[in-house]
Amino acid sequence: MGNKIGRKYGISRRYGVSLWGQAKDPVNSRKYPPGEHGTSGFKRFSDFGKQFAAHNKLKAYYNLRTSRQFKNTFVKAKRMVKKVGNIIDSFTGLLESRLMSVLYRSGLASTIFTARQFVSHNHVTVNDKMVNIASYTVKPGDLIKIKKKLIHSNGKKESEVQLGVLESSSYLKIDFCIEDKQEYYTIEYLRMPKFSEIPYPIDMEINLIVEFFSR
């Protein structure tokens, strides 16, 4: 996990943006690419280069491990266009429906990387069944549970958790409950969000990604 976090800052600096909007991101103080020749400035991209850069930024933002996984999500989104309305809403909606994305967007996981760790370490249930696949697609009406003590053991204070819950997205509902003397936060996934509802910290240029996959 540490190596991945190190690489994520490299991605931010490569494209000159704070990809996750974090104040500690080195790009905020070093506004040039990493590497020996980084101080010479950013390269000018061709049309394909712009598409590929947009692809890399969104792929990194959602912590997808492979480009094949990313492309498969786009292919699935194309099949949903008639139901959802347009390819951008269906594509980003599917990315937001991944289990680790739901945890991250709820405010209970401070980063997308922490959210993946919660899932892969068997700390998360969906409809009372253990799920350890971070890419698992959550459906409207599904209930996700995670133990309160786990949140606090990973450095989130009560006030920070409550702030995350209060500011959570409109397509999620978060409750605190006690079951069998175990304290849980429960997230209910209400619906797939539209692109306009997703609080990206930067312009993700989804239209360029659609062009990239439609070549």
Under DSSP, is residue 69 helix (H, G, I), strand (E, B) or coil? helix
Cα distances (Å, whole numbers) of residue 27 to 33, 43, 163: 8, 16, 26
Q: Check residue 16 and give its pLDDT.
A: 78
- If asked whether residues 10 and 85 sit together in one domain, one would say yes
Integer-rounded Cα radius of gyration of the chain: 18
Other Cβ atoms less than 10 A from the Cβ of 67: the count is: 11
Q: Check residue 169 and give its pLDDT.
A: 78
Q: Are the CB atoms for 130 and 151 separated by under 8 Å?
A: no
Q: Which residue has the tokens 């951008």?
A: 88
Output the pTM of the full model: 0.84
- If asked whether residues 79 and 18 sit together in one domain, one would say yes
Cα distances (Å, whole numbers) of residue 99 to 39, 102, 142: 39, 5, 11
Q: Which residue has the tokens 């347009």?
A: 86
Considering the domain boundaries, does residue 197 fall inside one? Answer: no
- If asked whether residues 64 and 133 sit together in one domain, one would say no
Q: Check residue 1 and give its pLDDT.
A: 40
Which domain, by its residues, includes 119?
100-189
Other Cβ atoms less than 10 A from the Cβ of 158: the count is: 10
Helix axes 87-96 and 99-106, enclosed angle (nearest 10): 80
- If asked whether residues 64 and 109 sit together in one domain, one would say no
For β-strands 172-179 and 182-189, DSSP reports them as antiparallel
CATH number at residue 8: 1.10.1050.10
CATH number at residue 145: 3.10.290.10
Q: Check residue 189 and give its pLDDT.
A: 95
Considering the domain boundaries, does residue 196 fall inside one? Answer: no
- If asked whether residues 58 and 129 sit together in one domain, one would say no
Considering the domain boundaries, does residue 194 fall inside one? Answer: no
Q: Check residue 212 and give its pLDDT.
A: 93
Q: Nearest-CA neighbor of 102 among 88, 116, 89, 91? A: 116
Q: Check residue 81 and give its pLDDT.
A: 87
| Total tally of structural domains belonging to the chain | 2
Spatial distance between the Cα atoms of 54 and 8, rounded to a whole number of angstroms: 15
Q: Check residue 6 and give its pLDDT.
A: 47
- If asked whether residues 34 and 82 sit together in one domain, one would say yes
Cα distances (Å, whole numbers) of residue 36 to 53, 128, 201: 21, 51, 28
- If asked whether residues 130 and 164 sit together in one domain, one would say yes
Q: Nearest-CA neighbor of 131 among 118, 142, 122? A: 122
Positions in the chain short of pLDDT 50: 1-3, 5-6, 37
